[in-house]
Amino acid sequence: MIVDQDVQPEAVDDGAAESGILSVTPSVASREEPLQLEIELRRAIGSDQLRLYYQPLADLRTGQMVSLEALVRWQHPELGLIPPLQFLPLAEGSDLIDAIGYWVLRRACRDLRTWIDNGFSDVRVALNISPRQFRDPRLVEHIEEAVCEAGIEASLLALEVTEPVLMQDPPASAAVLRQLKDIGVSLMLDDFGTGYSSLTWLKRFPFDRVKIDRAFVRGVLNNADDEAIAKAIIAMAHHLGIRVVGEGVESEEQCEFLRRHMCDEIQGYFYSPPVTPKEIEALLVEGRRLPEHLLRIQKKQRTLLLVDDEANILAALKRLLRRDGYNILIANGGQEGLDLLAQHEVDVIVSDQRMPGMTGVEFLRTAKGVCPNTVRIVLSGYTELQSVTDAVNEGAIYKFLTKPWDDQLLREHIAEAFKHKEMADENQRLDLEVRTANQELALANRQMEEMLRHKQQQITRAEVSLDIVREILRHVVVPMIGIDENNMVAFANSSAETLLAGFGGLLGCDVRQVLPELFTRSDELANEPKTCSIHRNGMCFDVTIAPMGDKSLSRGKLISLVKREGKL
């Protein structure tokens, strides 16, 4: 809980100071002995020195905030706001972690209640859970008490669990996770990819979401291994109907990578740093969203990049092509063109060949490496056949056009290039939609399996209850007979079998043969409760006939025979 272990030293270096959240003296340990700090931490729990911050998670399909992660801080009266890395390890070594964790749980539930009262009923909060809390046999009970006290649904909470916690005792972990799912809490596997990550474990545990560890997200742009791991995690989780969160997203480029590879949600300073509950409410009022161009499925304006070292050529091309509705970017050389490619998503590039510093072919070859999906055209009055031929053969150039150009023909070539690009984009879009549909189908299958599991549990419990009732009734000293809707004996306890021993096996017999006295006037028994008396074996019995199904799906009737004292 319920405490966050995810504030890494990198976060402090990469913007913690500007967020105002981790502003604290360089090292608390250098000013306080551990024992003294532990004493002060115990005092802090009871004296309202702990603070709860929340970091939003954004959906890459809608761009909207979809949930929050609760993060605890310590507002020390002298040392200022202390980040978790400086006091949670101390708490983990003592019983303080339990007190902090359950404080976080109760406070998060109260904050949820406040947001609901203020009109924000769709907020969800994820709580980090410590190893000690996960092993606490009263964990589920504590959660139920906290949500009941706050008057909220348990479905508004998610618990983040790390792989090492699960691996300490996998069978026991699976049982705990099932209990949490049964009360409505959703589950998130935190820091996925750093431990014993495998498809087997994802299948075994009922997680709703997994988080790609920040270490891999940080390396997706410049490390082939991290890129491959991130893509594999997304594909693996989606195959099982599990949503994926990219953690520690600090830049638009990282967000774009995750968007392009079908990640579902992001969390990090790029969208929002951890903020106070009041600031979360302000974000909800604002309706903060990710930019449209970073959403998973989108329709973009056609963007054309013109690169030429002659200003008059650029001006002429811009005048000619402006009528076709393109978003036109211009650059005076190869390096300037690469800078624009780093800032904008470009569909088609038209470049001169003979430019100072970098030829058109060299520029387009580099552009292919940076933006492989662009369509690249050389428009030049200078022809160096070998370099152009090599570039065409290796795919760096889509077409080579010569100056001076024919206006109509040039427009047609560029329009064709955009159609070529849009066809590739459409294929990519359709692939995204198919993968999204497959993901949703896998999720539906997962939910169906969960429903079937619950139904099977209910059936098993009902069967066990029925067996218990049957066993109890068999030992009741009062003779009891159960009959179905066709008056056939479906149950008889030991006392009834002894009383009616002359009929052999009672099960399957017609009750009209076994107890004909009940049918003196009719071949059917009334559907209302009935009492009467009969004589059997020289004894008088008070008979009660009770129809079944008043509070269950049972059908038929239950007949009990109570012996009167004395013989008649």
Please tell me whether residues 363 and 417 are part of one structural domain.
yes
Domain harbouring 540, CATH code: 3.30.450.20
- The answer to the question of residue 536 being in a domain is yes
Average pLDDT, the chain: 83
pLDDT digits (tens, 9 = 90+) for 153-211: 999 999 999 888 888 888 899 999 999 999 999 999 987 766 655 556 677 888 999 99
Spatial strand order of the sheet with 539-547 comes to: 489-492, 480-483, 557-563, 539-547, 530-536
Question: What's the pLDDT at 20?
Answer: 32
Q: What confidence category does residue 507 fall into, taking pLDDT thresholds of 50, 70 and 90?
A: confident
| Residue-by-residue DSSP string for 7-41 | --HHHIIIIIHHHTSS-B-S-STTTS-HHHHHHHH
pLDDT tens, 280-332?
999 998 989 999 888 876 656 789 999 999 999 999 999 899 888 889 999 99
Same domain for 134 and 54, yes or no, is: yes
Do 131 and 230 lie in one domain? The reply is yes
Q: Are residues 234 and 356 in the same domain?
A: no
Q: Give me the pLDDT at residue 30, please.
A: 44
pLDDT tens, 61-78?
889 999 999 999 888 888
How high is the pLDDT of residue 311?
Answer: 92
pLDDT level of residue 33 (50, 70, 90 thresholds): low
| 23 pLDDT tier (thresholds 50, 70, 90) | very low
Tokens of 207: 């997680």
Say yes or no: 487 and 446 in one domain: no
Specify if 104 maps to a domain.
yes
Determine the pLDDT at residue 521.
Answer: 57
Same-domain status, 430 and 523 = no
Which of 474, 502, 530 marks a domain boundary?
Answer: 474
Which pLDDT belongs to residue 17?
32
Confidence at 523, pLDDT banded by 50, 70, 90: low
Q: What is the mean pLDDT of residues 536-561?
A: 84
Last residue of a domain, one of 474, 504, 524: 474
pLDDT of 449: 83
Select from 445, 474, 503 the last residue of a domain: 474
Q: What percent of the chain has pLDDT over 70?
A: 86
Strands 303-307 and 243-247: unpaired
pLDDT band at 10 (very low <50, low <70, confident <90, very high): very low
Q: Which residues pair with 127 in a beta bridge?
A: 70, 159
Both 308 and 328 in a single domain?
Answer: yes
Same domain, 219 and 316: no
244: confidence class by pLDDT, cuts 50, 70, 90: very high
Instruction: Work out whether strand 489-492 and strand 480-483 pair parallel, antiparallel, or are unpaired.
Output: antiparallel
Same domain, 166 and 310: no
Question: Is residue 140 one of the residues assigned to a domain?
Answer: yes
Task: Please check whether residue 388 is in contact with residue 360, taking contact to mean a CB–CB distance below 8 angstroms.
Answer: no
| 295 is a domain residue | no
Residue 46: inside a domain, yes or no?
yes
Statement to judge: residues 462 and 479 lie in one domain? no
| CATH number of the domain bearing residue 95 | 3.20.20.450
Question: Cα separation of 162 and 130, whole Å?
Answer: 9
Tokens of 252: 């638009």
In this predicted structure, the answer to whether residue 525 has a pLDDT above a threshold of 90 is no
Does 4 reside within a domain? no
Residue 15 has a pLDDT of 34
Inter-CA distances, 429 with 300, 373, 433, 435, Å: 12, 13, 6, 10
Residue 478's identity, in one-letter code, is: V
In DSSP terms, which residues pair with 145 in a beta bridge? none
pLDDT digits (tens, 9 = 90+) for 69-124: 999 988 888 878 887 887 887 777 777 888 888 999 999 999 999 999 998 888 99
Cis before 516? omega within 30 = no
Same domain for 522 and 467, yes or no, is: no
pLDDT at residue 566, as a whole number: 60
Three-state SS sequence of 129-155: CCHHHHCCCCHHHHHHHHHHHHCCCHH
Query: pTM (2 decimals)?
Result: 0.59
- Count the neighbouring beta carbons within 10 Å of the beta carbon of residue 221: 13
Any domain includes 2? no
Asked if 1 and 160 count as a contact pair (C-beta separation under 8 A), the reply is no
Report the pLDDT value the prediction gives residue 236, as an integer from 0 to 100: 86
- Give the residue, 248 or 440, on which the prediction is more confident: 248
Within a domain: residue 568? no
What is the DSSP secondary structure assignment for residue 407, as one 8-state letter?
A: H
The DSSP output letter for 270 is T
Domains identified in the chain, total number: 3
So what's the pLDDT on residue 431?
Answer: 78
Q: Do 413 and 491 fall into the same domain? A: no
Q: Give residue 7's pLDDT band: very low, low, confident or very high (50, 70, 90).
A: very low
Range of the domain at 523: 475-563
